[in-house]
């Protein structure tokens, strides 16, 4: 690798994230993010205590604004109506900030530990705390660039006696013990990952002693533990968790050293939450599991670093880890039910703040892709194949309904992404106000692939041009660029290519699609201007959608 490419790779892996913190507590103990976010170059700015409203009234100075408030901020010497009014004023200020600034805002729920002397008064205090937290939840639900750390839940899980110190709160403006500080910091790190880190796409799973108890080839189908009594219930619940995970858009792949007939019989004869149809790739043979994981990646056209492998056998995990260091490996140990059934929730790469309709249909998309691959084998030429697909494009512009999906694409699309600029949902909404943000949907004879591309044009410059890798190989990229050029209708249109570790395939895209190279940067970046636009070899019908 050249020094230039090494620098590019390092830059991509060490993305800069600026974090600002404000609250009614000392925020420095909560902000030691270096270990928890090692892939980012993190800088943290701390505002003075009790300056929350002042911070919200000013322009953003960071990518992330963390606001940490305790129950005292709203309840101290306040009756019910005054406490609710304080919360309403706070939520209004946060919403106003979120509507005008690009920063991700993280707020927190409040810990509730009212003393019980008079029972009815205690219940009223519990109800008030719930009402205050309800407003926090509504704030995040109504504002896409606001996330919530459940500080109240964290304190409850640890136990108020272990998590809180009133002496420290009153004397040092830091009410949390070390165990609570560490848990809160981890929660903040998780939310930042949910917004900025690409989610893992595939979980590869062993079968024996992972999906069920026992070895199907030795114990037989009837001897497998997967019933509703212990220990089978651990495996059964794990399967249910995997099924729920798949419903959020993560693909499942079966990778097991077994006879295929035995595995198929187990799924056919035993009542289990998972069925073979839930797996987007099935690799059942006696070859090394690392080889089969590579086959999964090739079949699904996904990179190895988007995959996770789960197995009960330490030897198998080490073999995969040694052969495929890009793949994260995790051990499933059913004998420890708490750890086994907490495994998926503990894996950072599986977490997401929200999911899109495309996520929910992902398994169907890949099933359709296998049908396309089979069709490709049957036709004699690429042109015949493309015509037989009956491809249709639907392109919208500045559609608020697509903000979440476009933000998701900018943050996880690497290969066909000309500039790899990452945008939050708030960023995308503001770009829609400043320019033209196109979303691209692809349909063909096998089904709807969903929104697979986005183009952002601001002040006559193509800021972002990206397509999901699953849409490539169909001539879609040139057709989309042609549409955008005609829609913008300006001979002064400009564009850029910014090299990154994974987007080398796009280095000549503008050169071969009617743009003139007008400048090069020392980092390998290139600047272009419109020079007639692309001439797509295969015309694809395009319809505009509102």
Give the separation between CA 481 and CA 395, rounded to whole angstroms: 11
- Same domain, yes or no: 182 and 38: yes
- Same domain, yes or no: 258 and 324: yes
Instruction: Tell me the torsion sign for CA atoms 36, 37, 41, 46.
Output: negative
- Same domain, yes or no: 175 and 36: yes
Q: Which two tokens stand for residue 481?
A: 């660029």
448 lies in a domain?
Answer: yes
- Same domain, yes or no: 216 and 176: no
- Same domain, yes or no: 431 and 291: no
The whole domain housing 167 covers 3-196
| Exposure on the CB side of residue 360, measured as CA atoms within 13 A | 5
**From first to last of its 546 residues, what are the pLDDT tens digits of the chain?**
333 433 343 344 467 889 999 999 999 999 988 778 888 889 999 999 999 999 999 999 899 999 999 999 999 888 999 999 999 999 999 999 998 888 899 999 998 776 777 888 888 888 999 999 999 999 999 998 899 999 999 999 999 889 998 888 888 899 999 999 999 999 999 999 888 888 899 999 999 999 999 999 888 999 999 999 999 999 999 999 999 999 888 999 999 999 999 999 999 999 999 999 899 999 999 999 999 999 999 888 788 999 999 999 999 999 999 999 999 999 999 999 999 999 999 998 998 887 776 666 666 666 656 655 665 565 555 555 555 566 788 999 999 999 989 998 998 888 899 999 988 888 899 999 999 999 999 887 766 778 989 999 999 999 999 998 777 767 788 889 999 998 988 778 999 999 988 899 899 999 999 999 999 998 899 999 998 888 776 677 788 888
Question: Longest C-alpha distance within the chain, in Å?
Answer: 83
The pTM (predicted TM-score) of the whole model is 0.69
Structural domains counted in the chain: 3
355 lies in a domain?
Answer: no
369 lies in a domain?
Answer: no
372 lies in a domain?
Answer: no
Instruction: Tell me the torsion sign for CA atoms 55, 56, 57, 58.
Output: positive
* Whether the Cβ atoms of residue 470 and residue 499 lie closer than 8 Å to each other: no
* Whether the Cβ atoms of residue 452 and residue 440 lie closer than 8 Å to each other: yes
């Amino acid at each position: 690798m050249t020094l230039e490419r090494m620098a590019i790779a390092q830059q991509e892996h060490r993305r800069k994230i600026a974090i600002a913190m404000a609250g009614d507590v000392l925020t420095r103990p909560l902000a030691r993010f270096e270990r928890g976010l090692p892939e980012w170059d993190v800088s943290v700015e701390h505002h003075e205590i009790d300056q929350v409203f002042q911070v919200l009234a000013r322009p953003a100075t960071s990518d992330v604004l963390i606001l940490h408030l305790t129950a005292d901020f709203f309840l101290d010497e306040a009756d019910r109506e005054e406490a609710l009014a304080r919360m309403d004023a706070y939520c209004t200020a946060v919403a106003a900030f979120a509507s005008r600034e690009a920063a991700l805002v993280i707020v927190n729920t409040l810990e509730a530990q009212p003393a019980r002397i008079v029972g009815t008064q205690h219940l009223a205090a519990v109800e008030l705390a719930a009402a205050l937290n309800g407003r926090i939840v509504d704030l995040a639900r109504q504002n896409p660039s606001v996330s919530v750390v459940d500080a109240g839940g964290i304190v409850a899980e640890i136990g108020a006696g272990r998590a809180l110190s009133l002496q420290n709160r009153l004397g040092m403006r830091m009410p949390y013990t070390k165990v609570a500080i560490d848990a809160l910091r981890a929660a903040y790190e998780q939310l930042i990952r949910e917004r900025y880190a690409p989610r893992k796409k595939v979980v590869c799973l062993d079968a024996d002693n992972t999906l069920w108890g026992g070895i199907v080839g030795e114990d037989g189908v009837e001897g497998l533990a997967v019933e509703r009594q212990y220990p089978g219930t651990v495996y059964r619940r794990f399967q249910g968790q995997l099924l729920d995970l798949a419903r959020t858009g993560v693909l499942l792949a079966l990778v097991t050293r077994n006879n295929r007939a035995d595995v198929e019989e187990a799924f056919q004869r035993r009542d289990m939450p998972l069925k073979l149809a839930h797996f987007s790739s099935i690799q059942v043979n006696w070859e090394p599991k690392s080889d089969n994981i590579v086959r999964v990646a090739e079949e699904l056209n996904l990179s190895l670093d988007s995959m996770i492998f789960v197995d009960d056998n330490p030897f198998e995990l080490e073999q995969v880890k040694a052969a495929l260091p890009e793949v994260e490996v995790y051990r499933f140990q059913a004998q420890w039910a708490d750890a086994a059934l907490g495994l998926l929730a503990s894996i950072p790469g599986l977490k997401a703040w929200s999911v899109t309709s495309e996520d929910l249909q992902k398994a169907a998309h890949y099933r359709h892709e296998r049908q396309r691959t089979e069709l490709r084998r049957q036709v004699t030429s690429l042109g015949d194949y493309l015509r037989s697909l009956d491809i249709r494009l639907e392109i919208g512009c500045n559609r608020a309904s697509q903000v979440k999906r476009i933000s998701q694409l900018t943050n996880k699309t690497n290969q066909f992404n000309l500039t790899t600029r990452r945008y939050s949902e708030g960023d995308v909404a503001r770009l829609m106000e400043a320019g033209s943000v196109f979303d691209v949907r692809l349909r063909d004879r096998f089904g709807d692939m969903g929104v697979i591309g986005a183009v952002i044009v601001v002040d006559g410059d193509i800021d972002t041009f990206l397509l999901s890798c699953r849409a490539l190989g169909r001539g879609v990229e040139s057709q989309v660029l042609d549409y955008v050029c005609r829609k913008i209708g300006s001979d002064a249109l400009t564009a850029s290519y910014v090299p990154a570790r994974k987007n080398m395939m796009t280095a000549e895209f503008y050169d071969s699609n009617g743009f003139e190279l007008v400048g090069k940067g020392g980092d390998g970046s290139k600047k272009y201007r419109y020079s007639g636009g692309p001439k797509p070899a295969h015309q694809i019908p395009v319809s505009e959608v509102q």
